[in-house]
Amino acid sequence: MASYNYQDGKKRIQDILDNTLEVIENDKIPSDENFTFSNAYYGWVTGIFVDIRDSSKLFSNGDKELVSKMIRSFTSEVIEILRNDDNLREIGIRGDCVYGIYTTPLTKDILEIADKSFFINTFLKMLNKLLSERDMPKIKVGIGISTDKELVVKAGRKGVGINNAIWIGDAVTKASNLSSLGNKDGYAPIIIGSNVYDNIIEGLEERNSSKDVKSWFTERYTDDFGKFYDANIIKEQFDSWVDSGMS
């Protein structure tokens, strides 16, 4: 049985703690190749998490083929919606949740991430219609979005190829937590942090000048999350296509 060489471990920790590490403040988080074990970046980040509701009940269905097809259909298209963005810095699946993390130095970048949530919300209508046609259970999700400045560090084990970016701040953690509220206890599917709302509302009003955009959102407050907003926004053309039979 291989054992851990704690003496070598001590040396590695000393090297990490005693070496100079440069923290680069930059509104935009660079791509992976710019990260080293001797630098870190601090900039604007937006996270979006799409969390399946009642997943334990769904996954306990005895028909393993049915469950596999449902989960694969869900993750395939949510990833497709999230991945199409030059500002994407990480995308993945955590249990019953699909997520994307983006660098968002500009207000328009945050609006683009919010727009992805509207596509996902409408996609769920399409998916559930297709599931219903096959007598399969419907899927409900909560979509959480949060924006903040984060410290991003390349972490792992130098020299062995095991490393990843660690996102330290409120954007990613809060987006994950907000997604747990969506489509539950009276909340609408899309839950956005106050930073997101403040950065997208003007752009949404410009895009929809004939509509009362602010009425799309309900302001909420809890001790755990502070102020946030929920909404049930869809993409109208996409929604009309679903309603008209998807042909």
39 is a domain residue: yes
106 is a domain residue: yes
16 is a domain residue: no
Domain that holds residue 178: 22-239
Q: Can you read off the two tokens belonging to residue 203?
A: 């752009």
pLDDT for res 57 = 78
Beta-carbon contacts of residue 179 (< 8 Å; ≥ 6 apart): 49, 50, 51, 97, 141, 142, 143, 144, 191
- Residue ranges in 134-246 assigned as alpha helix (H): 170-179, 194-207, 236-243
2 is a domain residue: no
6 is a domain residue: no
52 is a domain residue: yes
CA-only gyration radius of the chain, Å: 21
What contacts 24+ positions apart, CB below 8 Å, involve 21-26?
A: 23/151
- Quick check: 56 pLDDT over 90? no
Q: Among 88, 67, 120, which residue's Cα sits nearest to residue 231? A: 120
13 is a domain residue: no
Enter the pTM of the model: 0.89
pLDDT for res 62 = 67
pLDDT for res 3 = 66
203 is a domain residue: yes
> Confidence band (pLDDT; 50, 70, 90) for 201?
very high
Mean local confidence (pLDDT), 206-227: 95
Say how far residue 20 (Cα) sits from the centre of its chain.
32
Which of 45-59, 66-80, 159-173 is the least confident region?
Answer: 159-173
> pLDDT digit string (tens) for 103-138?
999 999 999 999 999 999 999 999 999 999 988 888
User: How many domains does the structure of the chain reveal?
Assistant: 1
pLDDT for res 25 = 83
154: amino acid identity, one letter? K
Instruction: Give the CATH number for residue 149.
Output: 3.30.70.1230
Helix axes 107-133, 194-207, angle to 10 degrees: 80
